[in-house]
Structure 1
């Protein structure tokens, strides 16, 4: 089994065949591509890679990649959005909370010596406990726009103030999926993907 038509969601030049055949009509249309730069915590990326390795070990005939996983998660999200499943406050609040945890520096209150006889209470940021990896992908422009529309529907005029972008949305999908893997077990998730690969 070769690479997926689903990858046309990401790759501008490769036109592989085989993977996710039932979805190919959705992603066959040609359109301009644009770069989307993800910033993913390294530890999450490593956990996702082990999950991908597990899939490939279960079926030696496929070559499932990080790009496959990104396309799988993001396309599911876009399909849910098109069905109107995501226009609700709980989803918006959850996404915003994850975004703030990822982007906003944590603050702590401490005391600082400002003179030999005087201490002052200050707030300082806590350094990030993990490093990030920049992971650029080429994504069809129309799917970037669908993500932007979803974010506008969720946050209206607050979207620009919040600063959340499609790259952040995809990164949060990866982090959430990584957290599901961490909590385990992963067998059901692997079988869901393998079922998609063979359909």
Structure 2
């Protein structure tokens, strides 16, 4: 993969393990010539991964809506910064720049972005891999909720499997490199012949 969008928090959270893994992912990207596309901030998990890549002279592209430039404290040292008018435009711009998506620990924004990427794949608008790096079991309850959605008939198992889950960086990147979008109907009750 040439470029990957990483969705993650503007905070580093309470446990150092998540911050360390963001740095490790940044190092992995730089060592493997993978460009980062992200929210453009210099704080939190966003800043950690961007700084790790920049330390090794890797590519870091930020996409930030004008209204968040000061709120998220835009990173001034990255390779390129795109400024959009709205959050929606930000997502479209990120989508146009990347070959796949990864979520690290974060809050509502992280979940919004990763689920929009999954929805684009489910609807056949995109065919890019979408993954979560499940460091220290951070996403375990989210994964269980997806199982509930399948068991209650609101999500197809094949669509749930579009979300690639890795407990290590290498495991997740390998799954993303080998990803094939499912060939099934997006309609939950339709049988594909």
TM-score by length of 1: 0.27
Higher helix share: 1
- Structure number with bigger Rg: 1
More contact order relative to length (CA 8 Å, sep ≥ 6): 1
